[in-house]
């Protein structure tokens, strides 16, 4: 079970947002009088544990159950469902109600959607002939969940937007874009209209435009709020930088996430993404933290990560990644990918390198492209043919049709930087052993000199760009082009200006680490807060594409 994050030192008053979410949920439950059983969507259970303790829920409900395909086991006369707006979950709810009816059980049912009602979901309930049996159909508007002092999740999971490439294939992101815009608008209602808006990518620019529309429909009255607490919001589509998540993360949190040890990250709150991040430093850091109750677990984890990161296979992969990023020795990189395919390394490992190789080379020559596809089918089975098709359709692994722009982008944004002292790095590139995340370089340029200084580079990246200066003293919703470089707000006495960086489609822990590093640099007078649809790795980003490809076979 996740722990409720400590938000005492957050740049924004995220504690107030969390408390508001707590109050709204408790209010919903208390409004239903008498003994009741609360049935929670399993994916919501983890989310709610970041907002309030289970004991708080148990104070107001008689029984607590997790939604499943099985009949609900309860003696309570009232059942309250708290579920995400997912079609598959509606079938569970409908079947449970019909099962009770078949047994002659007379119960009162309440259904609350998170974060909002969706017509398609209610149609499923109507088709199941249970819609009229629901005493109340309501909403629990949970759009923002603080994961850390400087990280907010929009809680859009695999069934929503984070499986972005599947959405690119299916071509439907409207609901998710609305969700993102609504979440940012709710931040504005709490902290004031964000005067500067920058966006790059199809979904991000749509979200920015929708945000302006929401301000027209539901204006934030600044007279009562004073100076906005968030000075700038930067929205970035994941597809603008698909290179970064394909690389091996080398920060502590990143390695944990790659190694599927995410739950332990919550206990190790002091190991963030500052300079104390290389695995070799973990033991020294641990020595200073003997008072931590979970310290033994972290000592063991440090040993595990050192063992993992010290393996020749890991070093070889990181070395190949660096060659790919630096566009060095094409033949060596190609042969390495061929070898790991023939050795039947995990398909996700193969695909990450192949995607990285394709993205930085604008695709593969037809001969190489066709050969590697055949090798994958021979090694992993012809059932992966839809997967290869989907990767090509998403532009992740394709035939080369034009010259690569990667070298121009790499040089212009200084993405490759030698780390002279790993123990005291002077550049964010330490998070990937010498590669600075493209996404965070875009943020850096936006705040230091403005995007106009890299206009030509932005044209080489996918998706449109939007720069807006929004009025904060009127409710007209008018906007104008944002001047070169955002101006730091000097009226917030004693506090630095806040920049909200929104990753549409997911963010890696390494990128969060790089952004924290950027915020700590001399001359960078901003506190950065990350908002994201989901925290991802290259594997979790590719996994939905793999899964959807299997479904197509069935």
User: For the segment 299-332, what is each residue's pLDDT rounded down to a tens digit?
Assistant: 666 666 666 666 778 889 999 999 999 998 999 9
Render pLDDT for 235-259 as a digit per residue (tens, 0 to 9): 999 999 999 999 999 887 887 788 7
- The answer to whether residue 2 is domain-embedded is no
- Residue 331 CB contacts under 8 Å (≥ 6 apart), including other chains: none
- The answer to whether residue 133 is domain-embedded is yes
Domain co-membership, 467 together with 377: no
* Res 473: pLDDT: 33
**pLDDT higher than 60, residue 489:** no
Domain co-membership, 31 together with 124: yes
Given a contact cutoff of 8 angstroms between Cβ atoms, the answer to whether 511 and 439 are in contact is: yes
Structure tokens at 269: 């709150």
The beta strands (E) that lie in 132-270 are given as 134-139, 145-148, 151-153, 196-200, 230-237
* Res 172: pLDDT: 43
Domain co-membership, 52 together with 131: yes
Q: Which of 224-238, 464-478, 523-537 has the highest mean pLDDT?
A: 523-537
- The answer to whether residue 426 is domain-embedded is no
Domain co-membership, 377 together with 258: yes
- Residue 522 CB contacts under 8 Å (≥ 6 apart), including other chains: none
Domain co-membership, 124 together with 239: no
State whether residue 174 is helix, strand or coil: helix
**pLDDT higher than 60, residue 359:** yes
Strand-strand pairing, 196-200 and 465-470: antiparallel
Domain co-membership, 168 together with 58: no
Q: Can you give the length of the chain in residues?
A: 554
The structure's pTM equals 0.87
* Res 512: pLDDT: 97
- The answer to whether residue 103 is domain-embedded is yes
Render pLDDT for 157-178 as a digit per residue (tens, 0 to 9): 555 433 343 344 334 456 789 9
* Res 479: pLDDT: 41
- Residue 366 CB contacts under 8 Å (≥ 6 apart), including other chains: 399, 400
**pLDDT higher than 90, residue 362:** yes
Domain co-membership, 19 together with 72: yes
Between 178-182, 261-265, 368-372, 462-466, the lowest mean confidence (pLDDT) is in 261-265
Q: Where are the alpha helices (DSSP H) in 364-415?
A: 366-380, 385-393, 406-412
Mean pLDDT across 468-485: 50
Q: Which of 177-181, 284-288, 550-554 has the highest mean pLDDT?
A: 177-181
- The answer to whether residue 84 is domain-embedded is yes
Mean pLDDT of the chain: 86
Pick the last residue of a domain from 92, 122, 141: 141
- The answer to whether residue 354 is domain-embedded is yes
Number of domains in the chain: 3
Given a contact cutoff of 8 angstroms between Cβ atoms, the answer to whether 416 and 429 are in contact is: yes
Nearest to 92 by CA among 115, 70, 107, 109: 70
Peptide bond into 115 cis (omega under 30): yes
**pLDDT higher than 80, residue 181:** yes
* Res 550: pLDDT: 72
- The answer to whether residue 44 is domain-embedded is yes
State whether residue 124 is helix, strand or coil: helix
Structure tokens at 296: 């033994």
Domain co-membership, 225 together with 260: no
- For residue 316, give the CATH number of its domain: 1.25.40.850
- The answer to whether residue 77 is domain-embedded is yes
Kind and range of the H or E element at 417?
Answer: none
Given a contact cutoff of 8 angstroms between Cβ atoms, the answer to whether 193 and 215 are in contact is: yes
Domain co-membership, 519 together with 547: no
* Res 547: pLDDT: 85
Pick the last residue of a domain from 141, 166, 188: 141
* Res 175: pLDDT: 74
- For residue 91, give the CATH number of its domain: 3.40.50.2060
Instruction: State which residues form the domain around 129.
Output: 14-141
User: Taking each helix axis from N to C terminus, what angle separates 119-127 and 87-102, rounded to the nearest 10 degrees?
Assistant: 30
Structure tokens at 448: 């230091």
* Res 215: pLDDT: 84
Give the pLDDT band (50/70/90) at residue 274.
Answer: very low
Between 168-172, 338-342, 463-467, 534-538, the lowest mean confidence (pLDDT) is in 168-172
* Res 165: pLDDT: 37
Domain co-membership, 437 together with 303: no
- For residue 167, give the CATH number of its domain: 3.40.50.1910
Domain co-membership, 127 together with 154: no
Domain co-membership, 228 together with 124: no
* Res 418: pLDDT: 87
pLDDT > 70: what percent of the chain? 81
State whether residue 78 is helix, strand or coil: strand
Pick the last residue of a domain from 86, 114, 141: 141
What is the DSSP annotation of 85-119? S-HHHHHHHHHHHHHHHHTT---EEEEEEES---H
Distance CA 301, CA 112 (A): 40
């Amino acid at each position: 079970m996740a722990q409720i994050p400590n938000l005492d030192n957050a740049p924004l008053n995220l504690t107030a947002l969390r408390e508001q979410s707590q109050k709204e949920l408790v209010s919903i439950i208390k409004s239903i009088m008498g003994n009741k059983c609360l049935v929670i969507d399993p994916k919501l259970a983890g989310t709610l544990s970041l907002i309030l303790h289970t004991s708080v829920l148990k104070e107001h409900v008689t029984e607590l159950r997790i939604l499943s395909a099985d009949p609900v086991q309860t003696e309570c006369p009232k059942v309250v469902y708290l579920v995400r707006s997912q079609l598959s979950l509606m079938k569970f709810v409908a079947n449970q109600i019909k099962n009770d009816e078949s047994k002659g059980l007379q119960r009162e049912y309440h259904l609350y959607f998170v974060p909002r009602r969706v017509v398609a979901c209610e149609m499923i309930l109507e088709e199941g002939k249970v819609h009229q049996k629901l005493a109340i159909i309501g909403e629990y508007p949970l759009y923002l969940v603080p994961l850390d002092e400087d990280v907010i999740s929009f809680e859009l999971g695999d069934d929503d937007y984070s499986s972005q490439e599947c959405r690119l294939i299916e071509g439907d992101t409207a609901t998710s874009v609305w969700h993102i815009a609504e979440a940012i608008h709710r931040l504005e209602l709490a902290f004031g209209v964000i005067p500067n808006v920058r966006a790059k990518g199809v979904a991000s620019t749509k979200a920015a435009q929708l945000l302006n529309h929401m301000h027209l429909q539901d204006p934030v009255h600044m007279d009562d709020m004073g100076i906005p607490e968030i000075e700038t919001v930067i929205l970035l589509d994941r597809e603008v930088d698909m290179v970064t998540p394909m690389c091996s993360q080398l920060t502590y949190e990143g390695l944990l996430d790659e190694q599927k040890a995410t739950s332990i990250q919550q206990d190790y709150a002091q190991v963030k993404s500052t300079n104390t991040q290389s695995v070799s430093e973990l033991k020294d850091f641990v020595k200073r933290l003997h008072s931590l109750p979970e310290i033994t677990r972290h000592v063991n984890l440090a040993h595990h990560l050192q063992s993992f990161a010290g393996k020749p296979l890991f070093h070889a992969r990181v070395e190949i990644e660096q060659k790919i990023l630096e566009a060095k020795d094409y033949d060596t990189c190609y042969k390495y990918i061929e070898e790991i395919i023939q050795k039947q390394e995990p398909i996700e490992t193969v695909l990450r390198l192949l995607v990285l190789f394709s993205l930085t080379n604008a695709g593969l020559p037809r001969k190489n492209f066709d050969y590697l596809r055949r090798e994958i089918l021979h090694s992993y089975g012809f059932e992966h043919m839809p997967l290869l098709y989907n990767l090509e359709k998403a532009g992740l692994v394709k035939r080369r049709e034009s010259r690569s722009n990667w070298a121009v982008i790499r040089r212009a944004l200084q993405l490759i930087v030698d780390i002279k002292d790993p123990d005291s790095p002077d550049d964010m590139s330490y998070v990937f052993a010498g590669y600075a995340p493209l996404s965070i370089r875009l943020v850096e340029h936006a705040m230091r000199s403005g995007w106009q200084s890299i206009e030509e580079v932005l044209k080489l990246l996918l998706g449109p760009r939007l720069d807006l200066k929004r009025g904060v003293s009127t409710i007209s919703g008018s906007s104008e082009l944002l001047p070169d470089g955002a101006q730091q707000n000097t009226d917030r006495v004693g506090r630095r200006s806040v920049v909200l960086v929104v990753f549409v489609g997911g963010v890696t822990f390494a990128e969060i680490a790089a952004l924290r590093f950027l915020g700590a640099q001399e001359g960078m007078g901003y506190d950065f807060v990350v908002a994201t649809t989901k925290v991802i790795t290259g594997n979790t980003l590719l996994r939905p594409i793999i899964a959807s490809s299997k479904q197509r076979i069935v």
